Amino acid sequence: MGPERHILAFGDSLFAGYGVGRENSYPAQLQAALRARGINADIVNAGISGDTTAAGLARLSYTLDAQETVPELVILELGGNDLLRSLPPAETRKNLDAMMAELQQRGIPVLLMGMRAPPNLGPAFQGEFDAIYSELAEKYDANLVPFFLDSIYRRPDLIQADRVHPTEEGISELVGATVDDVVEALPPPAETAAAS
């Protein structure tokens, strides 16, 4: 299957597997999907339910330092809890920017999972928030999934009763919709890169 590819999934409840268990979480299902494609993925699930971008920033350094192997890719998925708390988009941007800067400094590629503000927060908030992810992806030359929940947010049958978190089937749908983005974001294996 080739060399192990080390990926760190750094996010909130959408990665932690809220309501479905870590074994059915997005990182677990993504790892299985990548292996089915012949990519020997080893994904560490660093998702913590309830994490805002501020909480993510506070634990990013030590989470990276605690990894036995430097990740070849970090999938960064935060911002949903900032929205649930109506935190100012400028704070969300500042925190995500600081995380992207740290990952760039460490030379770790990023796949940024975008979020979108719901209309009830108003057009000004929505416009300011929704621009964050594409602008940061451009600033740091990172790969981007413009809206992580795009494939399921209009599908109540794929969302838990809390109207926020995907079901196990919803997570499968998310994996199917984003696995190509992950493959594209993975750098070539070290051996290949060295040989070219």
Q: Which residues are catalytic?
A: 13, 162, 165
> Of 79, 74, 77, whose CA–CA distance to 103 is shortest?
74
- For 144-156, the DSSP string reads EES-TTTTTTT-G
**Strand arrangement, sheet containing 143-145:** 41-47, 5-11, 73-77, 110-113, 143-145
How many angstroms separate the Cα of 17 from the Cα of each of 40, 66, 89, 121, 153?
22, 21, 25, 26, 17
